[in-house]
Amino acid sequence: MDVQKEIEKLRRELEYHSRLYYVEDAPVISDYEFDMLMQRLKQLEQEHPELITPDSPTQRVGGQALSKFEQVQHQVPLESLTDVFSLEELYAFGERMDALLAEPHGYTVEPKIDGLSMSLEYENGVFVRGATRGDGLVGENVTENLRTVRSLPLRIENAPARLIVRGEVYMSKAVFRELNAEREARGETLLANPRNAAAGSMRQLDPKVAASRKLDIICFNMQYSSDSIYTSHAQTLDAMKAMGFPVVPYQRYERIGECVQRIEWLGEHRDELAYDMDGAVIKIDSLSQRAALGSTAKAPRWAVAFKYPPEKKESRVLDVVVQVGRTGVLTPKVIVEPVRLAGTTVSAATLHNQDNIDRLDLRIGDTVLLQKAGEIIPEVLSVNKAKRPDWAVPFVMPDICPECGSPVVRDEDGAALRCTSPECPAQRLRNIAHFASREAMDIEGLGISVCESLINSGLVSSAADLYYLEAEKIAQLERMGEKSAANLLTAIENSKSAGLARLLCAFGIRQVGQKAAKVLASYYKDLDALMAATAEELTLIPDIGGITAGFITEWFSLPQSMHLIGRLREAGVDFASHEERRDDRFAGQTFVLTGTLSRYTRDEAGAIIESFGGKTAGSVSKKTSYVLAGENAGSKLTKAESLGIRILTEDEFEDMIR
> What's the rounded Cα separation, in Å, for the pair 280 and 264?
9
**DSSP-H helix ranges across 320-467:** 354-360, 428-436, 448-456
> What's the rounded Cα separation, in Å, for the pair 152 and 147?
7
- Using DSSP, state whether 27 is helix, strand or coil: coil
25: left (phi over 0), alpha (psi -120 to 50) or beta: left
Catalytic residues: 112
Burial class (CB in 10 A: 0-12, 13-18, 19+), 324: buried
509: left (phi over 0), alpha (psi -120 to 50) or beta: beta
Residue in 93, 161, 78, 185 with CA at minimum distance from that of residue 430: 185
Q: What are the distances in angstroms from CA 583 to CA 92, 134, 606, 612? A: 76, 49, 15, 5
Helix, strand, coil fractions of the chain, as percent rounded to 5: 40, 20, 40
Beta bridge partners of 646: 626
Contact yes or no for 238/222 (Cβ under 8 A): no
Residue 422 dihedral angles phi and psi, to the nearest 5°: -75, -10
Amino acid at 534: T
> What's the rounded Cα separation, in Å, for the pair 361 and 518?
45
Q: What are the distances in angstroms from CA 203 to CA 65, 66, 585, 636? A: 11, 10, 38, 18
- Using DSSP, state whether 99 is helix, strand or coil: helix
> What's the rounded Cα separation, in Å, for the pair 219 and 122?
14
Amino acid at 80: S
Contact yes or no for 512/469 (Cβ under 8 A): no
How far from each other are the two terminal CA atoms of the chain, in whole angstroms? Answer: 60
Name the helix (H) or strand (E) containing 321.
strand 313-324
**DSSP-H helix ranges across 508-645:** 514-523, 527-531, 535-538, 546-557, 559-571, 602-611, 635-643
CB atoms within 10 A of CB 456: 12
Beta bridge partners of 163: 122, 225
Name the helix (H) or strand (E) containing 258.
helix 256-269
